Structure 1
Amino acid sequence: MEEQTKPIEPLSLSIERSGRGDTVTVVAKLGDEELHRDKMDLNRASDRCRFGRAIHAKLHRFTPTDVESQLLKLLADLQRQEQQREEPPSDDGEEIAALELTRPELIIRHDYAAMIVPRLLRTRTAPDGTWTLYAKSGGKRSASELEPSVVIGDRSLHVHPMPYPPSVADVSELCRWSQASREAWLKGEVRPTTDDALAAILGRLDRFIELPDDGETGSRGHGATLALWMLMSYCYPIFPAVPYLYLAGPAGSGKTRTMDLIGRMVFRPMFSSNTTAANVFRSLHARGGTLLLDEAERLKDDRSPEVGEITSILLSGYRRGGRANRLEPAGDSFRSVSFDVFSPKLLACIRGLPPALSSRCINVRLSRAAVGSPRAARSLDDSPVEEQQVRDLLHAWMLENAPRLIDTPPPASTLANRDAERWEPLFRIASLCSDESLLEFVIAHAAQQIETDQEDATPEADPALLAALHELVATQPRVTPGDVLEAARDLDPDAIDEGWTARRVSVVLRRYGLRVVRSHGKRVFKQTAADVAKVAKRYGYEIADGSSTGGEPTDDRVPQTQTEAF
C-alpha cells in the first residue's frame, strides 16, 4: 500500500493596522496556528529581512527570500488599497484642472467667500473636533461641515490639502472668531465695511503704538500701511504676490510690541524667533496664515545652511504658488514633496535684511517712544473684550468684502516693477473705502517711503551721524548735512563709506526728528547740542556731552520762523 504524505501547509501572512504612518503589524500563521507577529514598516528592506529571518529560524523550510517575496506582495496590495481610498470617486475618470483645487482656510471666488473655523463638539466620551465652513454665496450665508469638495454654483472645488480633524490645541490656537459673532453674522446682523475694519484696527494701533512722524504723511501714513496690511492677511489668496512687512528700528523702539499687537489681529498668526526651516514650511502648508518672525537678524548669516533654507522659503513664499520642495523618506528611498509656503510674513530686526528679501518688503521704521508716553505704558492685555471684537469684525469683513477685490483693478500710480507689485494689494483694499482720498493718501505715502528706503542707511551709521551733529551744533552757528557727513566720516569711516551723500544724511536724521530748515539759500540744522543729546540718550547712543549742550540757539542760528522741512 502506497504511503500517504501529509500535505505541507502554506505560510499565511496578514496585516493589522498599528498606529499612524506606514507601520503595520504582520501576522504569520500556519493554518490556524499563529507562528510569528512583528511591528514593521513594509517599505523598509531591513524590516522585511528581520521578519524573514525570524520565520526561517522557526521553520527552516521557509527561506528568508521566500518570506520577503510574500511581504512585497502584501506591500503592493496595501499600496493599491491606499491609492483607491485616496482617489476621489469618478464615474468617467475626468481630469481635475489645477484651477479646481483650493486650499481650505480662505476660499475666495466671484460672489463667493468662505473660511474654515475649528470647533469642539461635546460628546459622551471626549470633545470631538470638526472643521466648519462659513460661507457667503450670492448673498446667502451658511455654515456646514467641511467636505472634500466645495460646491459653488454649478461647479465644484476640490479641497487640497484636506486638513485632519482639529485637536483641542488646534481649536485653542486657530479658532479666533467668537461663537457669538459667528451666529450674529449668519443671521445677517454683522456686515462690516472696509471703513469699519480700518477704523477698528487704527483704534488699536493708536491706543498702544507710538508710530514715528516720518515726512509729510506723518504717523498717519504708517498707521494706514499697517492697517491695510492686516486686512490683506484675510484675503491674500486673491493676489499674485503679497508684500512682507519689515519692522525696522533700533533696540527699544517697540518692534516686538508692535509685532505682538499685529499678531493679535492678523489671520492665523504663527509667531517664531528661532525656528527651523522644516517647521516653517510644514506649518505654512498645513494651516496657512501669517508668519511673524522676530529677531530676523540671523537671516544675514549666509554661512548657516539652516538659515539659508529659511531664507529660500521666504523668497519663494512671496508669490502665489511659491513652494518649498523637499525629499521625504519613502521606505528605502525618497520622494519629492512640495509644500505651499505662500502667505503674508512679518519680519522684525535691528540690523537689516538680505537685499533679495528686503526687496519683497514694505518697510516701517519705528523709533523709541518719548519718555512718559501713555501708549507705550499701556499693557496690550488691558482690553481683551475690545480685542476680540476687532478680530470678530475682521473675519466678518473678509466674508462680506473679499470677492469685490477680484474685479478691483490696480489704481494708477507712479510706482513701477517690484515697487508697484508690493504696494498693489494695499492700494486695491484702500480703493474699497468710501473716502476716495484715502487711496490718494496711501499712494503718496508709498512714493515717499520708496524714496526714503532708497536713501536709507543701516542703523550702524546712526550713532556716528548723531555724534557728528552734536559736536558741530555745539561749536558752529550753521551746520549743513554736508558738514555732518564729513565729520561723521572722520569719526567712523567704516560705517560712513563713499556711497553716502548729504541727502542721505538728512533722511536718516529726519527719522529722529532732527530736520533741516532753509536759511540764506542753504539747508541747515536748527537744533541745539542739548536737543541732539536728548535724542541720542533716548535711543541709547553714547556721545560726548560738550560744555554748550545745554545752551539755547544763538542769534546767529536759524530763526524759529524759518522752518521749511526738507
Structure 2
Amino acid sequence: MSFDLEHIRSRNPIEDVISEKFSLKKSGSRFIGAEHDSLVVIPQSGMYFWNSRNEHGDVFDFVGRYHLNYGSGWNNRDSAQFMEAIEHLARRAGISIERNADFRQTPVWAERQLVQRLHDTLLNTPPALSYATKQRGWDMQTVRLAKPGFMPQDKRPLLDGLNLSDTWRNVIHKFPAGMLVYIHLNNGRLTYLSGRSIEGKRHYNPPRDIIGEKQPYFNHCYSAESNQLVVVEGQADAITFGEWGVPAVAIAGMSISDELLIRLKKHDRVFISLDNTDDANTQSQMIAKALGGKAYLPKFPNEVKDANEWLAQHQATADDASDLLNKAQNWLLSEVHRAANLEGLARQDAIRDLFQHVGDLDSFTLAQFKEAMGKIGVKARVFNEMMKLSSNENPDSGDDFAEVFDDSIPVLSPAQGFRDDLALVTVSLLERTRKNCLNIQPYLVTSSRELKRVTDEQIISIDQKEVALRVVPEGSEFLQRWRYSDIRRFLDGETIQPGEIFNGIHDLFKRYVDFRSDIESRILSLWVVGTYFYQMFPAYPYLALNGPKNSGKSTVLRVLQPLAFNMISTSDPTGASMFRLIHYTSCTVGIDEAERYHNPRDPGMQQIRQLLNSGYKQGMPAIRITGEDMKPQAFDVYSPKILAAIMGLEDILASRCIAIPMRRTDKKMPAFPPDFDGAGIRHQLYTLALTHFKSIHRNYFQRPELHKLHNRSGELWSPLVALAAFFEEQGQVEGLLDAISEAAEWDEQLSEGKALSNREEAVLQSLEIMTRNADGAVWLKASELRERVREIMGISQDQMGHAQWIGHILNRLALTDRNRKKAYTGGQMYLIDRREVSDMMRRYDVSQIPTNLPEN
C-alpha cells in the first residue's frame, strides 16, 4: 500500500476543502458558513456539521457529497465511492497513490470503520442514545462531535469485513455489552477504548495484557497547540467541557502519568478540575504542584460534584464554564496564602519551595507573585535574591529576570497615542530587503518628528523618554495610509494651516452629498478630524446616518473611507475580526444596514451588539474567549464608528450616537470619483494630529467654559466642541463653535425629552385621532397604530422598520406600563387614555390633525 489515509487527511485541512465550495468565516476555534450559518466546521477534530441538513462527517464525507456530487447518495462504506474521495484529495494534495491498491486492507480504514460502527450503534439504540442526551445532558451536536459508541450484545456486525489487528478484535470480544464506549484518538488514530455502563455505575478498561495501560481521553476540542486546557477525572466530564467549547483531557481516574504530565506542561495554562470531593481535591493539589505556575484551580459550586453533573442537573452553559475558568486562582498564588499561615521553619521551607516553580511564569503572573510575597513579608531585596538563586538552580529558566513594570511609563496605543507632550501614530511602509524582496513593516511617526521602525520590543525610547506600546503592531497593507514621501515632508518640518484642512473636508461633503442644512456637513467634517485625536478623549460619539434608500448614506461612507483614521467600511462585520482590528489598529468603522444589529432574534449579532454598546467609551473592553484554548482576552473596542440605517437604531445604541438625518435629493449631484484616494488630505490630518494635539487637549480638558452640556450629551459632544473652538480660533472658520454648540444643545433637549422627534409627534397625533370619539381608555393594536403613523408621516413600510419602537415611544411618553398592555394573536395591544394623550400634546405643543383619515 503506497498511501496512508491520515497522511491524505492531514494534507487536506477540512476548512480549506469546504471553503472551495462554501464561504466560511472564523468564529473562535470553529468556522461558520458565511451564507449557511448552520454549517459548522471544527478543524481540531476534522469534522463538519450541517445541522439544518442533519448531516455531518469528515473531509472524505464532504468531498463525496459535494465535490463528487453524490449528495444524499454518498455512502462512506461503499469502497468504490470512498476510493473516489481518496483519489480526489490525493490529487488535490499532490500525493501519488496506486490505483489498484486495496485501501480496505489498511489499519486506518479498519479502525475508522470500527469507530463509525460503534457510533452508529449508539445512535440506533434508543436506551443508549437517551442515556447520552438525557442522563448525561449532551446535545446531539456534541454526541456527533465526540462520537461515543455503544457495545451491543451481538458484536459480529462490528467486526464483519474489517481487517482489524488481533489486538482490536480481542478488545471488542472482551468488552462488556450494554456499555457506552469512549473513543480515544491520537492524531486521528484509534489508541484505546474505555466504557461506562448505561445502567448502574460500572466502568471498564480493557485488560493491560491485551492493549497495555489505560490511556487519557482527549475531547474533540483538544489540540496540541491549545494554549490552555482543563484536566478532569472522567471521560463524561471531558465531553461536557467539549460541549462548552473548552479543550479537556480526562485522566480516567485520579492518577497522572509522567508522559501525560510532560504533555500538559506544553500548554500555557492548565485548569485542574477534578471532582468536587476531598480525595480529588488532594489529588488536584498534587497535579498542580507538578505543573507549578501553569496550574489553575477552578471551584465548582458547592452543590456540584463534577462538570457533567453541573450540565445535566443544573443546566450549566458555556458562559458558566467560561466564568468558572476565568475566576480560577493560580495554584502558586494560592500556595503563597497557605504559606502565610505557617510559622517558623515550616513557613521558611514553604516559601523557599515556592521559588522552585517560578521558571514558567509569564510576566503578569510573576508580578502578582511578587506582590503576594510582599504582602506576607518577603521584601523586594529578599525576593530578588531568591529569584537569582532559583534561576541559578534551574538552568532552563533563562538568563533574564523580568522586572515589575514601572507604571509611571505611559502605555499608549501604537496606532494612535497621546500623552502630555507626546503624540504618535503607526503607519506601514514598504521596505526593500537584502534579497530584493518587498516587506511591509510598521513604523512609528512621532510628534518629535521621529520615524522609528517597530521591533518586537514594547518598551521603547522616544525623544529620550520611555514609552510602552499596548500591543506590538503588525505591518499590513491596511495601514499604508500615509505615503512615505509625505512623511518625509513632515519629518523635514512642514507645517499646515488648520482652516484649510477643515474647509477641504467640508467642501468634499458639500460637493457630493445633499444635506438638509450646513450643520450636518460641519458635524461630519469635525468628526472626521476627530478620528485622528479620539484616543485623547474619554469618549467619542458614534454618528448615525438615518434616512430612506437613495438618500446619500452610502455616499457619505464612501467619502469617509479615504479620509477617516484607518477606516474600514462593511455591511457584514464579524465580531472576531472587528475585535482584533480595533484592538490592534484603532480603526474607524463604517457599518451599513446597521439596524439589523439590534434584532434580538439574531444570535449571530450578539458580538457586534456588545462591540457597539461598549466601544464608544474608553475603559469598557469586550471580554472574549479566543483561540483553540478558549482563553479569555480583553479587547479594546473603543473607536469611532458611523452607522447607516434606514429604520433607525434601537434606544441603547442610539443614545451613543449623534444623528445625521439624510434625505433624498432633488438635485443632480456629481458621483463621488471611485479613484479618489484622499492621500493629500490624510497627510494634512496626520500632520495636524502630531503638531496641534496640545491645543485640542487644552480645549477639551482645561477650558470648562466651552463645555456646557452634562451627562451623556456632554460625553458625546465635547470632542466636537473642542475641535470647533480650535478651528474657529486657529483656523479662522467663523461661526463654527456657535453652530456646533447650538446643535449640541438641541440634541441634549431631544435626549432629555424637552422636544420630540418627528416619529414621536406622529405617534401622539395618531393616538389623538384613534381615541377622538372615546369617553375613556381604549385598547389599541400596535399594528394599527403603526400603520396610522406611517400614513401621517407619508413613508413606506420599509422605512417604518419593526413594530418594537411603538412600545419604546409609548413607554418614553409615559402612556403605557406593564398593566396596560397585553398580547393577542396578531401582536401587542395597549390601553390608551385619551386625556393623557391630550395632556402630552399640550405639554409638547403638538398640533391636532384635522383629519380626513378614517377614525376608529
**TM-score band, normalised by shorter chain:** 0.5 to 0.7
CA shift at 1:417, angstroms?
1.4
How do residues 13-24 of structure 1 correspond to structure 2 at under 5 angstroms?
Answer: none
CA shift at 1:201, angstroms?
0.8
Q: Paired residue for 2:756?
A: 455
1:72 matches 2:370: no
1:419 matches 2:720: no
Of the three residues 572, 575, 579, the one matched with 1:281 is 579
Decide whether aligned partners of structure 1 residues 442 and 524 sit closer, same or farther in structure 2, where only a CA change above 3 A counts. Answer: farther
CA shift at 1:426, angstroms?
0.6
CA shift at 1:48, angstroms?
8.7
Q: Paired residue for 2:508?
A: 204
1:322 matches 2:620: yes
CA shift at 1:194, angstroms?
2.9
Q: Paired residue for 2:553?
A: 255
The AA in structure 2 aligned to 1:349 is A
| Number of matched pairs | 429
CA contact (8 A) 2:724 2:736 kept: yes
Of the three residues 726, 748, 752, the one matched with 1:432 is 726
State the secondary structure of the residue aligned to 1:234. Answer: coil
CA shift at 1:51, angstroms?
9.9
CA contact (8 A) 1:185 1:396 kept: yes
State the secondary structure of the residue aligned to 2:648. Answer: coil
CA contact (8 A) 1:202 1:223 kept: yes
The AA in structure 2 aligned to 1:157 is V
Decide whether aligned partners of structure 1 residues 98 and 317 sit closer, same or farther in structure 2, where only a CA change above 3 A counts. Answer: farther
1:352 matches 2:541: no
Q: What's the CA shift string for 1:148-198, capped at 9, x where partnerless? A: 22324564222122123x2xxx22x22111222111111112x22432321
1:340 matches 2:649: no
Distance in 2 of aligned mates of 1:245 and 1:70: 57
CA shift at 1:61, angstroms?
8.2
Of the three residues 230, 252, 269, the one matched with 2:528 is 230
State the secondary structure of the residue aligned to 2:493. Answer: coil
* Greater relative contact order, per chain length (Cα 8 Å cut-off, separation 6+): 1
1:132 matches 2:443: yes
Distance in 1 of aligned mates of 2:185 and 2:760: 56
Distance in 1 of aligned mates of 2:191 and 2:471: 38
Q: Paired residue for 2:674?
A: 381
CA shift at 1:361, angstroms?
0.6
Of the three residues 484, 492, 503, the one matched with 1:187 is 492
The AA in structure 2 aligned to 1:431 is A
CA shift at 1:97, angstroms?
2.6
Q: Paired residue for 1:391?
A: 682
Q: Paired residue for 2:569?
A: 271
Distance in 1 of aligned mates of 2:258 and 2:189: 13
CA contact (8 A) 1:118 1:131 kept: yes
The AA in structure 2 aligned to 1:323 is P
State the secondary structure of the residue aligned to 1:400. Answer: helix
Decide whether aligned partners of structure 1 residues 406 and 414 sit closer, same or farther in structure 2, where only a CA change above 3 A counts. Answer: closer
Distance in 1 of aligned mates of 2:406 and 2:185: 38
Distance in 1 of aligned mates of 2:789 and 2:507: 43
Q: What's the CA shift string for 1:328-381, capped at 9, x where partnerless? A: 3564xx43211110111101101111111111111110111114x2xx233333
CA contact (8 A) 2:759 2:789 kept: no
Decide whether aligned partners of structure 1 residues 73 and 100 sit closer, same or farther in structure 2, where only a CA change above 3 A counts. Answer: farther
Distance in 2 of aligned mates of 1:322 and 1:278: 17
CA contact (8 A) 1:102 1:158 kept: yes
Decide whether aligned partners of structure 1 residues 505 and 72 sit closer, same or farther in structure 2, where only a CA change above 3 A counts. Answer: farther
1:144 matches 2:452: yes
* Mean Cα deviation higher: 82-91 or 311-320: 82-91
Q: What's the CA shift string for 1:29-81, capped at 9, x where partnerless? A: xxxxxxxxxxxxxxxx9649969879xx9x98888579963353255267588
Q: Paired residue for 1:366?
A: 662
Question: Which runs of 5 or more residues in structure 2 are unaligned?
Answer: 1-27, 30-42, 44-183, 194-207, 217-254, 269-293, 295-358, 368-398, 770-784, 794-802, 811-836
Decide whether aligned partners of structure 1 residues 368 and 505 sit closer, same or farther in structure 2, where only a CA change above 3 A counts. Answer: farther
Distance in 1 of aligned mates of 2:532 and 2:599: 32
The AA in structure 1 aligned to 2:469 is V
Distance in 1 of aligned mates of 2:543 and 2:789: 32
Distance in 2 of aligned mates of 1:490 and 1:77: 63
1:407 matches 2:703: no
The AA in structure 1 aligned to 2:505 is I
| Superposition CA RMSD, Å | 4.4
Identity %: 25
State the secondary structure of the residue aligned to 2:649. Answer: coil
CA shift at 1:228, angstroms?
0.8
Decide whether aligned partners of structure 1 residues 455 and 329 sit closer, same or farther in structure 2, where only a CA change above 3 A counts. Answer: same
Distance in 2 of aligned mates of 1:233 and 1:241: 11
The AA in structure 1 aligned to 2:692 is N
CA contact (8 A) 1:247 1:348 kept: yes
CA shift at 1:83, angstroms?
5.7
Q: What's the CA shift string for 1:386-418, capped at 9, x where partnerless? A: x32112211111111123323333443542211
Decide whether aligned partners of structure 1 residues 92 and 378 sit closer, same or farther in structure 2, where only a CA change above 3 A counts. Answer: closer
Distance in 2 of aligned mates of 1:329 and 1:456: 45
Distance in 1 of aligned mates of 2:431 and 2:735: 47
* Mean Cα deviation higher: 96-105 or 302-311: 96-105
Decide whether aligned partners of structure 1 residues 300 and 492 sit closer, same or farther in structure 2, where only a CA change above 3 A counts. Answer: farther
Distance in 1 of aligned mates of 2:683 and 2:673: 18
Distance in 2 of aligned mates of 1:227 and 1:131: 28
The AA in structure 2 aligned to 1:72 is L
Distance in 1 of aligned mates of 2:213 and 2:788: 85
Q: Paired residue for 2:814?
A: none
CA contact (8 A) 2:414 2:426 kept: yes
CA shift at 1:440, angstroms?
2.3
Distance in 1 of aligned mates of 2:480 and 2:844: 46
Distance in 2 of aligned mates of 1:125 and 1:157: 33
Q: Which has the higher helix share?
A: 2
CA contact (8 A) 2:706 2:722 kept: no
State the secondary structure of the residue aligned to 2:580. Answer: helix
Distance in 2 of aligned mates of 1:92 and 1:300: 46
CA contact (8 A) 2:762 2:789 kept: no
State the secondary structure of the residue aligned to 2:558. Answer: helix
CA contact (8 A) 2:540 2:616 kept: yes
CA contact (8 A) 1:457 1:504 kept: no
Decide whether aligned partners of structure 1 residues 297 and 192 sit closer, same or farther in structure 2, where only a CA change above 3 A counts. Answer: same
Distance in 2 of aligned mates of 1:85 and 1:48: 33
TM-score (norm 2): 0.44
